[in-house]
């Protein structure tokens, strides 16, 4: 599975690689590259770091650094944009870059994003928490608060400033009280149309993975295993509610942002599995899902020496796919490779 994860990583460059500042085409075959997908590129940094941590090969660290520079270059040299979730994803990625390189600028940039998000996105509408974007400060959701909790908990490990953990805990408890159902299923958001309504129809793997990641991060930061219980409950509920025949199928339209959603779930159940007893029934269920779904992915998406994934891993990829979808496949295969090794990833 190490070799298969490598194939998926190299296939991203093979099918989507672009010259110059574009770095990666948004789709294969290459089409409309007008959209600058900031948050996809943030996950590209993370995906390349997965390969670096797994292999120790400096080429993957160099690719992670290049992806990070690309975001800045295409964003007029700025860390910031209008979407708080986008920025938080980038902060999580560059905090990992700091851990990999020791370059203090990465840590400073992650802290700067946290400060910017709190200054511009934190408010008491619908309860103290982070808004989704600057144009809708009344709209609160899991995509913004989930990565905020994770970033806050991880920054707390690098800095004794009590604000990190205080804000992270407040955001987590808001999320739990507002958008998590009694069975652990995590809803998307509230008050999008300024009517106080919860968006019950947006049922995505992404939100489940984010809540799992937030709970695990707080378990690490506080030592309280109750957070692991909450993470486990949500992880298992997601399988029951969203998987079919051992797979997550296509979510929403083909590719696009939805193409990345299942990758987020895989990333954060990976962090959960590292904290569960392998003999535990929940761990066995989650591990079996990782194995069966990545088996299906490899079988459906591998052709010759390359791998190109679609959004439904039960069938071969359609003619056109987005690099967001390929990133989900990479995240899943990187997790499978780590599970096969029995290695630990933070």
Full set of structural domains in the chain with CATH: 2-341 (1.50.10.20)
Joined together, the tokens standing for residue 23 give 């770095």
pTM of the model: 0.97
- pLDDT tens-place string over residues 156-184: 999 999 999 999 999 999 999 999 999 99
Indicate whether 345 pLDDT > 50.
Answer: no
- pLDDT tens-place string over residues 69-106: 999 999 999 999 999 999 999 999 999 999 999 999 99
Residue 253: what pLDDT?
A: 75
Alpha-carbon distance 304 to 313, whole Å? 17
Q: Rg of the chain's alpha carbons, rounded to an integer? A: 19
Indicate whether 343 pLDDT > 70.
Answer: no
The least confident of 133-147, 240-254, 273-287 is 240-254
Alpha-carbon distance 168 to 153, whole Å? 6
Residue 346: what pLDDT?
A: 41
Indicate whether 110 pLDDT > 60.
Answer: yes
Residue 57: what pLDDT?
A: 98
DSSP annotation of 28 reads E
Indicate whether 319 pLDDT > 80.
Answer: yes
Residue 249's pLDDT band, with cuts at 50, 70 and 90, is confident
Residue 251: what pLDDT?
A: 84
Give the strands of the sheet with 129-133, arranged side by side.
122-123, 129-133, 136-141, 189-190
Instruction: Say if CB 140 and CB 191 are below 8 A apart.
Output: yes
Residue 176: what pLDDT?
A: 99
Averaged pLDDT score across all residues of the chain? 97
Residue 119: what pLDDT?
A: 99
Percent residues over pLDDT 70 in the chain? 99
Residue 254's pLDDT band, with cuts at 50, 70 and 90, is confident
Percent residues over pLDDT 90 in the chain? 95
More confident residue, 218 or 255: 218
Cα separations in angstroms, 248 against 143, 264, 321:
19, 12, 17
In sequence order, what are the beta bridge partners of 190? 140, 198
Alpha-carbon distance 123 to 240, whole Å? 34
Q: What is the dihedral of CA 33, 38, 43, 47, to 10 degrees?
A: 50
Joined together, the tokens standing for residue 258 give 């939805």
């Amino acid at each position: 599975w190490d070799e298969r994860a490598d194939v998926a990583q190299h296939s991203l460059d093979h099918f989507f690689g672009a010259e110059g500042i574009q770095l990666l085409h948004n789709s294969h075959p290459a089409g409309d590259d007008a959209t600058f997908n900031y948050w996809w590129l943030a996950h590209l940094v993370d995906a390349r770091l997965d390969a670096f941590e797994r292999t120790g090969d400096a080429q993957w660290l160099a690719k992670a650094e290049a992806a990070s520079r690309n975001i800045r270059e295409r964003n007029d040299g700025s860390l910031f944009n209008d979407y708080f979730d986008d920025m938080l994803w980038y902060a999580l990625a560059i905090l990992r870059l700091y851990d990999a390189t020791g370059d203090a600028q990465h840590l400073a940039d992650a802290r700067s994003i946290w400060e910017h998000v709190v200054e511009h996105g934190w408010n008491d509408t619908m309860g103290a928490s982070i808004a989704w974007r600057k144009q809708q400060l009344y709209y609160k959701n899991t995509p913004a608060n989930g990565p905020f909790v994770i970033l806050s908990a991880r920054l707390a490990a690098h800095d004794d400033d009590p604000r990190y953990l205080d804000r992270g805990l407040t955001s987590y408890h808001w999320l739990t009280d507002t958008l998590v159902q009694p069975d652990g299923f995590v809803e998307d958001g509230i008050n999008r149309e300024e009517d106080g309504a919860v968006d019950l129809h947006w049922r995505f793997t992404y939100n489940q993975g984010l809540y799992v990641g937030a709970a695990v991060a707080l378990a690490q930061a506080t030592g309280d295993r109750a957070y692991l219980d909450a993470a486990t409950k949500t992880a298992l509920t997601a399988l029951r509610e969203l998987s079919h025949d051992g797979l997550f199928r296509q979510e929403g339209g083909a590719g696009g942002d939805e193409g990345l959603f299942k990758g987020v779930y895989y990333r954060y159940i990976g962090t959960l599995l590292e904290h569960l007893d392998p003999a535990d029934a929940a761990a066995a269920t989650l591990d079996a899902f990782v194995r069966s779904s990545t088996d299906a992915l490899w079988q459906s998406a591998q052709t010759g020496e390359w791998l190109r994934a679609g959004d439904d891993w039960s069938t071969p990829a359609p003619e056109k796919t987005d690099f967001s979808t390929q990133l989900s496949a990479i995240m899943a295969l990187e997790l499978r490779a780590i599970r096969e090794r029995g290695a630990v990833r933070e």
